[in-house]
Amino acid sequence: MAKALHRLANPARFLRIASPLLPWIAAGAAVCSGAGLWFGLVDSPPDYQQGDAARIMYVHVPAAWNALAGYAGLAIASAVALVWRHPLALVAARCIAPVGACFTVIAIATGSIWGHPMWGTWWVWDARLTSVVVLLFLYLGYIALLQAFDEQETGERAATVLALIGAVNLPVIKFSVDWWNTLHQPASILRFGGPSIDPAMLLPLMLMAGGFTLLFAYLVIIRMQTELARRRVMALRRAALAVSQPNDA
Amino acid sequence: MTRKHQRLIGLLAAGVVLGVAATLVFQALDDTLVFFYSPTQAAERQFRPGEAIRLGGLVKAESVQHSDDSLKVWFVVTDGANDVTVTYDGILPDLFRDEQGVVAEGSFLPDGTFAATEVLARHDENYMPKEVAEALREQGLFVGEDGEKSY
Chain B CB contacts of A58 below 8 Å: none
Q: Which of B7, B123, B132 sits opposite A118 (nearest CB)?
A: B123
**Separation of alpha carbons A81 and A86, rounded Å:** 5
Residue A192 lies in a domain: no
DSSP 8-state assignment for residue B55: E
**Separation of alpha carbons B104 and A149, rounded Å:** 48
Mean pLDDT of B97-123: 91
Whether the predicted pLDDT of A9 surpasses 50: yes
Instruction: Give residue B150's pLDDT.
Output: 37
- A108: containing domain: 25-44+51-186+199-243
Chain A CB contacts of B22 below 8 Å: 168, 172
Query: Which SS3 state, helix, strand or coil, does residue B86 take?
Result: strand
Q: Which helix (H) or strand (E) holds A221?
A: helix A199-244
With an 8 Å Cβ cutoff, is A187 touching chain B? yes
Residue A110 lies in a domain: yes
DSSP 8-state assignment for residue A55: G
Listed in sequence order, the residues at least 6 apart from A40 whose beta carbon sits closer than 8 Å to its beta carbon are: A55, A58, A204, A205, A207, A208
With an 8 Å Cβ cutoff, is B12 touching chain A? no
Strand pairing report for B72-78 and B83-89: antiparallel
Residue A4 lies in a domain: no
Residue A18 lies in a domain: no
- Tell me how far apart the 2 most distant CA atoms of chain A are, in Å: 77
Q: Which of B8, B33, B103 sits opposite A83 (nearest CB)?
A: B8
Task: Give A226's pLDDT tier (boundaries 50, 70, 90).
Answer: very high
Query: Which SS3 state, helix, strand or coil, does residue B1 take?
Result: coil
Whether the predicted pLDDT of B60 surpasses 50: yes
Listed in sequence order, the residues at least 6 apart from B42 whose beta carbon sits closer than 8 Å to its beta carbon are: B53, B55, B82, B84, B108
How many C-beta atoms surround the C-beta of residue A162 within 10 A?
Answer: 16
Instruction: Give residue B149's pLDDT.
Output: 37
Chain B CB contacts of A168 below 8 Å: 18-19, 22
Structurally, chain A folds into a number of domains equal to 1
Counting Cβ atoms within 10 Å, is residue B120 exposed (0-12), middle (13-18) or buried (19+)?
buried
Query: Which SS3 state, helix, strand or coil, does residue A101 take?
Result: helix
Q: Which helix (H) or strand (E) holds B58?
A: strand B53-59
Instruction: Give residue A51's pLDDT.
Output: 85
Residue A119 lies in a domain: yes
Q: How many Cα atoms occupy the beta-carbon half-sphere of B148 within 13 Å? A: 12
Q: Summarize pLDDT for A170-197 with one digit per residue, the tens.
A: 999 999 988 888 889 888 887 777 788 8
ipTM comes to 0.79
**Separation of alpha carbons B41 and B44, rounded Å:** 5
Residue A34 lies in a domain: yes
Residue A237 lies in a domain: yes
Instruction: Show contacts of A75-80: CB within 8 Å, 24+ apart.
Output: A75/A163, A75/A164, A75/A166, A75/A167, A75/A170, A78/A159, A78/A160, A78/A163, A78/A164, A79/A164, A79/B11, A80/A9
Residue A73 lies in a domain: yes
Task: Quote the pTM value.
Answer: 0.87
